[in-house]
């Protein structure tokens, strides 16, 4: 787990990770926020459902993928936080239809 050296102060925003409100700072990446949580993992792998967490922080490993505002497989190290953003840890493969859609996540099969 990581900790911030400073207080976000006026730059503070709130994002939601798996529906829990989390304090973040404008301008930082979602992956940085994930790494400050008790559970730092961002996704499970399609092949063996092993947990993965941000590893490279520069967009070349794809282990920090998560669902962001209903869009699956977002590289969270390249995406900066926005107030009210909803992040869901991603389990397995991305599905064609996101959780937020009318058809529902599982109906097209994994």
Partner 1 sequence: MSKVDLLVVGAGPAGMAAAVTARRFGLDVLVVDDQPAPGGQIWRAVETVAASARGVILGDAYRDGKSAAEAFRASAAVYQPGSQLWQIEPGFRAFVTRDGKARSIEASAVILATGAQERPVPFPGWTLPGVLTVGAAQILLKSAGQVPAKPFWLAGSGPLALLYLTQLLRAGGQIAGYLDTTPPRRLGAALPHLPRALRAAGDLAKGLGWMMALRRRGVRIVKHVVDVEAIGSDKIEAIRYRTTGGEQRTVAAEILLVHEGIVPNIHASLALGCNVQWRDDQDCYVPILDPWGESSQANVFVAGDAAGIAGAKAAVIGGELAALRIAMKLKRAGEAKAIAAAKPLRHRLARERALRPFLEAMFRPRRQIFAPSDDTIVCRCEEVTARDIRAMAAIGRPGPNQVKAFTRAGMGPCQGRQCGYTVTHILAEAENRPAADVGFYRVRPPLKPVTLGELASLDQLETTP
| Under rule CB under 8 A, residue 3 binds partner 1 | yes
| Under rule CB under 8 A, residue 108 binds partner 1 | no
| Under rule CB under 8 A, residue 67 binds partner 1 | no
Pairing of strands 43-44, 65-68: unpaired
Instruction: Tell me, by CB under 8 A, how many residues bind partner 1.
Output: 38
Tell me the CA distances in angstroms from 80 to 1, 76, 85, one per residue in order: 19, 8, 10
| Under rule CB under 8 A, residue 10 binds partner 1 | no
Residues in the chain: 110
| Under rule CB under 8 A, residue 97 binds partner 1 | no
> Looking at 14, 18, 71, 100, which residue binds partner 1 (CB under 8 A)?
71
Kindly report the backbone phi and psi dihedral angles of residue 9, in degrees, each rounded to the nearest multiple of 5, phi listed first.
Answer: 55, -130
Tell me the CA distances in angstroms from 7 to 3, 23, 24, one per residue in order: 11, 10, 10
The footprint of partner 1 (CB under 8 A) covers 1-6, 25, 27-29, 32, 35-36, 40-41, 45, 47-48, 50-63, 65, 71, 73, 77-78, 80
């Amino acid at each position: 787990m990581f900790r911030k050296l400073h207080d976000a102060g006026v730059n503070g925003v709130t994002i939601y990770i798996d529906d829990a409100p989390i304090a973040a700072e404008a301008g930082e990446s979602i992956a940085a926020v994930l790494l400050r949580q008790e559970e730092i993992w961002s996704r499970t792998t399609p092949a063996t459902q092993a947990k993965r967490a941000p590893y490279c922080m520069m967009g070349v490993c794809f282990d920090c993928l998560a669902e962001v505002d209903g869009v699956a497989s977002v590289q969270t190290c390249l995406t900066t936080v926005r107030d009210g953003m909803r992040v869901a840890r991603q389990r397995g493969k991305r599905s064609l239809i996101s959780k937020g859609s009318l058809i529902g996540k599982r109906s097209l099969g994994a």
